[in-house]
Chains A and B, each alone.
Chain A
Amino acid sequence: MMPASDAVGARDVAARTASRRRGGFARTVRRHPGIARLGAVAALFLLWEIAARYWVDPMFLSPPSRVIGSIQSVFATRGVPAALQVTFWELAVAFAMSVAIGLLVGLAVGLSRFSRHTFMPIILLLYGTPQVTILPLFILYFGIGPASKIAFGVSHGIFPIIVTIVAGVQNIKPILLVSARSMGANRWQIFRWVIFPHMIPSFFAGMRLGMTGVLLGVLLAELYVSTAGIGYFTTLFTQNFDPTKLLGLISVLAAMAIVLNEIVRRAEVHFGRWRAE
């Protein structure tokens, strides 16, 4: 039942009579917010197209139609496909390292009460510091190649994973541990059959947050280094006032980020489900 039902009801009736006249289109839109959402996105792109064509200096903005057409020429620019490929590998390696190290550290810290009380404050302190301030140090230590970007990505991805793993281990009901022990389970069996299954949802939640962090870290470092990789090309396109190629390159990177985020999110939905049932 809707609230303030009189007003809404009246509007509903009005919409219904109107929709009957207009072949039910308005009603379809009311029933399916997805259609209105698509409409909003389309309106936004239309606005962008019109603004870029008629209002804004073409040195600064180019219309989406031209950007989409130019993605081919972005890929044809010498060095861009290689830079994108390197960025993708950096993201993959940084993510894998964050998950592996974060899982180990998270378990080491989370599995005993003592180590949790001792090391969690330190980890939260590190997690809370703005790591961008030490980005120049990463470049100083690891050079301008992939190593510094991977390291910086790991430094962003690892903390959310540790924190969620620790929280996941911590949230196991003590009664489950006690009953497992009273039924004669040893440490390994408790880990395998009680802690491990309970950890899975928080593990995947941590992976999703870790992916967000890794994307931020790697892209920050890529943009910072302006003499190689993605940062070189964004700087180049900006200095040449070539918004078409710049937008094309950014769209490709955004698409990469969306796909990676979506994979991890799907995994979370899929594997996080059993507890809700």
Chain B
Amino acid sequence: MGERGSRRDRILSRLVQAAFLIGLLALWYLATARWGVSHLLLPNPVRVYDELKDVLASGEFVPDLRVTLSELAIAFLISSVGGVTLGYLISRSQYLIRVFEPLLAGVYSIPIILFLPLYVLFFGLGPASKIALGTTISFFPIVLNTIAGFGYVERIYLVAARAMGASDFQLFRWVLLPAALPVILTGLRMGFTVALLSILGSETIASLAGLGHKIVHLAEAMETARMFAYIAFAVAIAALLNFTVTLLEARGRR
């Protein structure tokens, strides 16, 4: 395919994407305005937009957002400190890696969301149970990636650095850390993403406050338009956070 052909293709595919999204919006509008789909099931997009403006202007979202973000921050702090520390300690010996890595990977393959009822029993409906779940879920990708990062540094680099007389700290600072950092950062990003998901999820299932709780509350009150507005808001917040973390990861890799 020639250069001109591929450029025309690119423009065409942008057009198709735009048409797809506009078509979806148009279908949504027509379904509610013309074809009489109940507004309890599908609110009019214009009304959702008005509600979203109202939510943003009134600042009603602030308490819930604060709860969700503080849960996320605490959970991520605990799991990243704990995960990186434990991962580093395990990675110091090939034997420990062989003992613990399959164990951690095995637990990670269980859907950890199953722990939520237990955590609700232990910690109640408040933020503590969400923090516990977010910590548990994000701990595993972080610890596994830390082990992978530190544990599989090419032996030859370590031997060469030692032969050139590097101290323990120098070995860590100039050989181990640069080699392991990209893998660890990926683990931290994955951990952050799943922590956010699990905290929103556990707020949806059983909670007293937070964005997930707000959405469920509005659903139960049948205020569908406002619920859609909050869903859009939560999705935007999640996208913003994930985008920031991906950016930080890319920057840290350099």
Contact = CB atoms under 8 A, between A and B. Distances in A.
Interface range, B side: 35 or more
Contacts of A33: 95, 98-99
A233 B234 CA distance: 29
A224 B204 contact: yes
A261 B112 CA distance: 13
Interface string B71-101: 0000000000000000000000011001110
B30 interface: no
B9 interface: yes
B231 A246 contact: no
Interface string B100-127: 1011000001110111111011100000
Given A250-B117, A261-B109, A133 B16 contact: no
A250 B200 contact: no
B25 interface: no
B121 A40 contact: no
Given A118-B16, A132-B200, A220 B113 contact: yes
Contacts of B9: 113-114, 117
Contact of A129 (B17, B114, B239): B239
Contact of B110 (A130, A241, A258): A258
Contacts of B110: 254, 257-258
B235 interface: yes
A134 B116 CA distance: 19
Interface stretch (B47-55, B57-65, B184-192, B211-219): B211-219
A251 to B, nearest CB: 9
B227 interface: yes
Contacts of B46: none
Given A215-B111, A216-B113, A257-B110, A247 B118 contact: yes
Contacts of B16: 118
A129 B234 CA distance: 10
A137 B225 CA distance: 12
Contacts of B98: 33
A67 B52 CA distance: 48
Given A130-B200, A223-B116, A3 B99 contact: no
Interface in A116-140: 117-119, 121-122, 128-130, 132-137, 139-140
B159 interface: yes
Contact of B238 (A4, A129, A257): A129
A37 B102 contact: yes
Contacts of B94: 2
**Which of A223, A235, A258, A261 has its CB near the most chain B CB atoms (within 10 A)?**
A223
A130 to B, nearest CB: 5
**Which of A135, A246, A258 has its CB near the most chain B CB atoms (within 10 A)?**
A135
A130 B117 contact: no
Interface range, A side: 35 or more
Contacts of B122: 60-61
A65 B21 CA distance: 56
B17 to A, nearest CB: 6
Contacts of B32: none
A119 B21 CA distance: 11
B174 interface: no
Nearest to A231: B205
A231 B1 CA distance: 55
B31 to A, nearest CB: 13
21 contacts: A3-B159, A36-B99, A37-B100, A40-B99, A118-B13, A122-B20, A130-B234, A130-B235, A133-B212, A135-B204, A140-B41, A219-B113, A219-B114, A223-B117, A224-B205, A234-B117, A235-B117, A243-B118, A243-B121, A250-B117, A257-B109
